Amino acid sequence: MAGVMFDKKIYEVRPGIRKSMRDLLDIGVDLGASDVHLVSGCPPRYRMGPDLLKYEEAAELKDSRGHEPMSPVDPETAKRLIYSMFTTRKQLDRFKREQEFDLSAETEKARFRVNVGVESRGPYSTIRIIPYRGCVAISKSINTSFSSII
């Protein structure tokens, strides 16, 4: 579960094209990335193996069609995108006070472990993608093991 603004199209990736935080996370899942990095002043980046790549670079690895780059995320937009992931006022207040917070989020495509903080350029977020497919396989394995014990 994420905040009420999670689906709001806040970030203008190119003129006339806007994305929400959910969109950015789902792009990461679709690319097969392990992490999504959102840093003020930079376009979103996706971890593909050992490399931290801009969207168009990561997408090129996936299907080699030309992909348009995403614009850098200004500090105010980064803040709004990151705030969209908080589910309670208490979480947001703690983040504002401590300038760092860990939380989780979920979409239909995957779960996410999220670390947010503030650096000199503004807010940032490092988001680990946890695909459902691994969770389902582990769950089935555990159920099979328990069934054989019983």
Q: What's the pLDDT tens digit per position in 9-22?
A: 999 998 999 999 99
Map residue 54 onto helix, strand or coil. strand
Rounded mean pLDDT of 111-134? Answer: 93
Give percent above pLDDT 90 in the chain. 67
Dist. CA 25–CA 79, nearest whole Å = 16
pLDDT at 134: 57
pLDDT at 116: 97
Instruction: Tell me how crowded residue 73 is: count the other CB atoms within 10 A of its CB.
Output: 27
Mean pLDDT across the chain, nearest whole number?
87
For the cut 70, the answer to whether the pLDDT of residue 141 exceeds it is no
Answer whether 0.85 is exceeded by the pTM: no
CB-CB contact of 85 with 5 (8 Å): no
CA 88 to centroid of chain Cα atoms: 18
For the cut 80, the answer to whether the pLDDT of residue 3 exceeds it is no
pLDDT at 149: 53
Sequence-ordered list of residues with C-beta below 8 angstroms from that of 28, at least 6 positions apart, any chain = 35, 36, 46, 127, 129
pLDDT bin (cut points 50, 70, 90) of residue 147 is very low
In 3D space, the residue among 29, 49, 25 whose CA is nearest the CA of residue 37 turns out to be: 25
Kindly report, residue by residue over 25-83, the tens digit of the pLDDT. Answer: 999 999 999 999 999 999 999 999 999 999 999 988 877 677 888 999 999 999 999 99
Between 21 and 139, name the one with better pLDDT: 21
CB-CB contact of 65 with 80 (8 Å): no
* All structural domains of the chain: 11-149 (3.30.450.90)
pLDDT at 139: 47
